[in-house]
Structure 1
Amino acid sequence: MSYALSTVGVPEAQQFDLWQSAVSQAFVPLEASAGGTAGRGFRGRLRGQSLGSVAVYEASADAHTVRRTARAISRAAPEYYKLSLQLHGTARLSQDGRHASLRPGDFALYDTTRPYSLAFEDVSSTLVLMFPRDMLVLPSGHVAALTAVRFAGGTGVSGIVSGTLVQLARNIDDPAVHGSVRLARNVVDLLGTALADRLDYADVPVESSRAALLVKIRSYVEAHLEDAELSPGDIAAAHHISTRYLHKLFSEAGTTVSGYLRRRRLERCGQDLADPAKHRLSIGVIGARWGLVDASYLSRAFKTEFGLSPSEYRRRSVEHRAR
C-alpha cells in the first residue's frame, strides 16, 4: 500500500495541523510543534510503502519537533520499533535518558512503547522504518539499551545498513520494491546485525544466544559476499562452530546457508544494477563483484529471484528514474 501527502497547495494556516495529523496516522499518535517563525507556512512531504508488516517512509519537512508522550502511550501502545536514518539535515533523538545527534547517513532506533522526542532544527529529510518489535531476533531487554544510540553511517556494519537504507530511499517509488516482504525482512535482519555488534551476550539465554550468533554470522556473510570461494565450512570455522551446527541455525530460520548467500549476492547485484553511478559497469562485472562469476548462472538465478533478467531489471530501473 502506497502513501503520499504534501502540504503544498494547502492554506498556510492549516499546513502544520495537516502535517501533525499525517505523521500520527502514518506512525503512532504523536504531538508536534513547529520551529521557525510563527505564522509562516510549513512545508512537509511524506511518502511511503508498506512492505508486509514493515512500513517505510521518507519524510521531508521544515524545522519541527515530534514527541511520543506518556499520555498518547496510555491510550494505545502498539509494540513497534522505529528507525530513523538521516538523509539530509540534522536531527536529535531522545529516549530513555539518551540523546543521539544524527547527521546524514547516521541512524538510530527507538521504541514506540516508551516516550521519545525527535527534533529537526532545520529543513531535513529522513527515512523512517517502523516494524513489529518481535521481528528482531534480539532480546527486547538488550535492544532497550540501544535506543537513541547513534549508529554512524560511514563505517563497519552500520555503514552497510546505512547504505542499504539510502538505496531503499532512492527506490521507494520503484514498482519492483512495492510489497517486497523479503526485502523488508532482509533490512530488519541487517539492522539486527548492527545492533548485535554493540551488545554483550554473556548473560543471554541459550535460545537468544543462538539468534544473536545467527545475526553475527549474517554480518560475516555480508562482509564477505565478494569472495566467490566463500563456503559453509569457511563460515563455520570463522565462528568456531561445526558446519552441521551452522546448517541447523539456518534451517531453524527457515532457509539454507547457500540459499541465504545466493539471495544476498543477487540483492546486492540488483542494487548495483539500479544505481545510476554504476550504469557503465557490465552485468558480468557487477556479478563478479559480488561473488557470482558465472554470467549464465547469474542471469538464471536473478530471473528466478526477481522475475526479470539482469538487463531487464536495469532497463526498468532507468525507465522509472526517467519518469
Structure 2
Amino acid sequence: MHLAQFRTADLPAGDRFDAWHEMTSNALISTVVTTESVDDFTATVKVLDLGAVQLSTVSYPPLRATRTARIIRRSDPDLYYVSLPLRGRLGVRHVGRDADIDTDHFVVIDTSQPGVVVNSEPVKHLIVQVPRAELPFKPSALNTAVARPLPIGGGIGALLVNVAQQMMGSVDAFRPAEGMRLANVVVDLVTSVLAGHLHNGGAARDAAQRLLQRRIFDFIETRLPDQALSPSVVAAAHNISVRYLQLLFQDQGLTVSGWIRERRLDRCRRDLRDPALAGRPVHAIGARWGLPDPTAFNRAFKQAFGVPPGDYRRQQLELEGCADGQGVCAQRQ
C-alpha cells in the first residue's frame, strides 16, 4: 500500500504540463492530451496503490484527453475506470456513446476501448481503477453500463465515494499488510454499485455469486497451513451454509475438501523443488501446509503426482543441480 502525490505548482511553469502528462501516463493511463493551459498548467494527482486496485484524485484545468487504438495496442492494462467528479463536469465520448457527467453521477470507462474525455472547466474527480478480472460480471453485462451517466445516489454509491476518500486521507492509519483487504472492500463496493445499475436481476445475482466464490478461494488460499481448515470453517467465515458452499464448488466442478487438498499438495510440490528448502524433512513440508500425517501425505502426494514426495524432491533437486537431498547444491556454471 503506497500513496504518491504530485503537484505541478512545485515545478517551474514551463515544465508543469509535460511533467504532469508523463506522471499521469505512468501512474494512471496513457492518453494524448491537449490544452490551452500549457504555459501555466495547474494540476494535482494523488494515487493510492492497493495492489490490484488503485484509487486516485486528479484535478486539472480544461483539457482534452484521447485514448487511441494505437495507444491501446502499445499499452492495454485491461482495466475499468470508475470516475466520479468531485468538482466540475466531464464529457465522455466512448464506445459509441456520449455522456455528460456531473458531481451527482459517475461513469465507467473501459481502457481497452478508444475514447475521449473533455472538460471545459476546471475539474477534480475520483478514479477507482479495477482490473477487469476483479469484477465478477460477464463482459456483455458490464458493457451496458460503460460510458453512461450513472447516478451516485445516497446509498452504496455515496458510501463508495466516502470510503475511497477516507482511505486516501487516512493512509497512515492502515498497516501496509492491509492493502489487500482494503482492495477487496473497494471491489465489493464497486460491484454493488454497478450491480444496482445493470437492471438485470440475473446479472446481479451472477455477479454476487462470482464475487463470493472468489472471496472463498482467497480465504482458503491464505489459510492452507491451518490444519483445522474445513468446509464448515469456510462456510462459517462467509455466513453461508455448508450445503450452499458445496453447491458453489459443485458449480465449478469441484468439492471443497478436494480443492483444499489440491492446493495444499501444490504448495508442498512447490516447496519440495525449492533448493533453499532442501534441508527440511519431507514430513515437515507436509505439516507446513496442513498435512501433518506423513503416511497420508505420502499417499496423497503419490496419487496426485505419480511419485512419493521424497522421490519427487530428489528428481527435482537433480534437475536443479543439487548434489544431494540435504541442501548441498553445486555451483551453477
Q: TM-score, normalised by structure 2?
A: 0.58
- Matched residue, 1:11: 12
2-11 vs 138-147, which moves further:
2-11
State the Cα deviation string for residues 217-270 of structure 1 (Å, max 9, x = none): xxxxxxxxxxxxxxxxxxxxxxxxx966655678899xxxxxxxxxxxxxxxxx
Aligned CA distance change for structure 1 residues 21 and 249 (closer, same or farther; 3 Å): farther
For residue 11 of structure 1, report the CA deviation from its aligned partner: 2.3
**2:92 aligned counterpart, secondary structure:** strand
Q: Return the offset for 1:64.
A: 1.5
- Residue identity matched to 2:17: F
Unmatched segments (≥5 aa) in structure 1: 217-241, 254-323
Match in the other structure for 1:142: 141
CA distance in 1, matches of 2:175, 2:106: 21
Contact 2:8 2:16 in 1 (8 A): yes
- Secondary structure of 2:152's aligned partner: coil
- Structure 1 counterpart of 2:174: 176
Aligned to 2:127: 128
TM-aligned CA distance change 1:152 to 1:202, over 3 Å: closer
Aligned CA distance change for structure 1 residues 177 and 47 (closer, same or farther; 3 Å): farther
1:175 and 1:136 map into 2 onto residues whose CA distance is: 27
Q: Whole-Å Cα distance in 2 between the matches of residues 244 and 147 of structure 1?
A: 37
Q: Does 1:79 align with 2:115?
A: no
Alpha-carbon distance change, 214 to 246 in structure 1, aligned in 2, over 3 angstroms: farther
Q: Which amino acid in structure 2 is aligned with residue 147 of structure 1? A: V
How high is the sequence identity, in percent, across the aligned residues? 24
CA distance in 1, matches of 2:246, 2:102: 40
Tell me, yes or no, if the aligned pair for 1:151 and 1:158 is still in contact at 8 Å.
no
Q: 1:42 Cα deviation (Å)?
A: 0.6
Q: 1:211 aligns with which of 198, 207, 210?
A: 207
In structure 2, relative to structure 1, the CA distance for the partners of 1:150 and 1:170 (3 Å cut) is farther
After superposition, the CA RMSD in angstroms is: 3.1
For 1:24 and 1:70, how far apart are their aligned partners in 2?
15
Instruction: Tell me the residue number matched to 1:307.
Output: none
Aligned to 2:25: 24
Cα displacement (A) at 1:14: 2.0
User: Is the Cα–Cα contact under 8 Å of residues 58 and 126 in structure 2 kept in the other structure?
Assistant: yes
SS at match of 1:186: helix
Change (3 A) 1:168 1:177: farther
- Hey, what does 2:3 align to over in structure 1? 2
Distance in 1, Cα, partners of 2:12 & 2:59: 18
* TM norm structure 1: 0.60
Equivalence for 1:116: 115
CA drift at 1:43: 0.3
**Aligned twin of 1:189:** 188
How far off is 1:13 after superposition?
2.1
Structure 2 unaligned spans of 5+: 213-239, 253-333
What pairs with 1:233-272 in structure 2 (closer than 5 Å)? none
Offset at residue 212 of structure 1 (A): 4.1
Match of 1:101, SS state, is strand
Q: 1:246 to 1:76 in 2, by over 3 A?
A: same
Q: CA deviation at 1:192?
A: 1.4
| Residue 42 of structure 2: aligned partner | 43
In structure 2, the CA distance between the partners of 1:145 and 1:30, relative to structure 1 (3 Å rule), is same
